[in-house]
Amino acid sequence: MGFFGGQTRPEPMGTPSFEEETFEDAFDSLPPLPKPQDNTVIAKGVTFTGTIEGEGMVQIEGRLEGEIKLKGSVTVTTTGVVQGPITADSVRVAGEVQGSITARDNLCLERTGSIHGDVSTCSLVVENGRLDGSSRMLAAPERPYVVQPSEVSPSIDEEFPADGE
């Protein structure tokens, strides 16, 4: 009770202190962005018209009307259709390709796949698929020379002959 019988006044509350949030702090609480992927999918039911060029992996589940020039691999799934030439390191066909294929490393034609065009590759695997065209085998790509352990050190027999030579 205060003077003159009145209620005591509550003490004034201080203004709440807010810490200022900096611009950088706001991003610390956000989840990180996903890492960029090196693969592209043309989904089933999608038709893409144009040229795909670059590095990475491309999987065709839908329809591609155009050209593929890739440093990497191309997979044409059972539902995939490509109308145009393909040039890549590795190509796997389980769907349909209407155009020439140049696979610098290898080409696999699966039993459900069909190729209507000429193919050029270093390694060709055909699993009862259909190839309407000619095939040309390319020279194997240059691989860096790897030194074998036997070329570095002599064998035990050479160091310690059994006959005491």
Mean per-residue pLDDT of the chain: 82
Is position 103 within any domain? yes
Number of domains the chain contains: 1
Length of the chain: 165
pLDDT of 161 above 60: no
Is position 162 within any domain? no
Q: How many CB atoms lie within 10 A of CB 57?
A: 16
At residue 151, the 3 state secondary structure works out as helix
- What pLDDT score was predicted for residue 82? 98
Is position 8 within any domain? no
The upper half-sphere exposure of residue 75, i.e. CA atoms within 13 Å in the direction of its Cβ, equals: 10
Query: H/E element holding 25?
Result: helix 23-28
pLDDT of 12 above 90: no
Is position 46 within any domain? yes
Domain interval for residue 106: 39-134
Separation CA 69–CA 118 (nearest Å) = 16
- What pLDDT score was predicted for residue 34? 72
Nearest Cα neighbor of 80 from 94, 61, 98 is: 61
2-14 burial, b at 16+ Cβ within 10 Å, e below that, comes to eeeeeeeeeeeee
**What are the tens digits of pLDDT across the range 145-159?**
665 555 555 555 555
Is position 155 within any domain? no
Is position 6 within any domain? no
Is position 144 within any domain? no
Is position 119 within any domain? yes
Separation CA 36–CA 49 (nearest Å) = 23
- Regarding pTM above 0.75, the answer is no
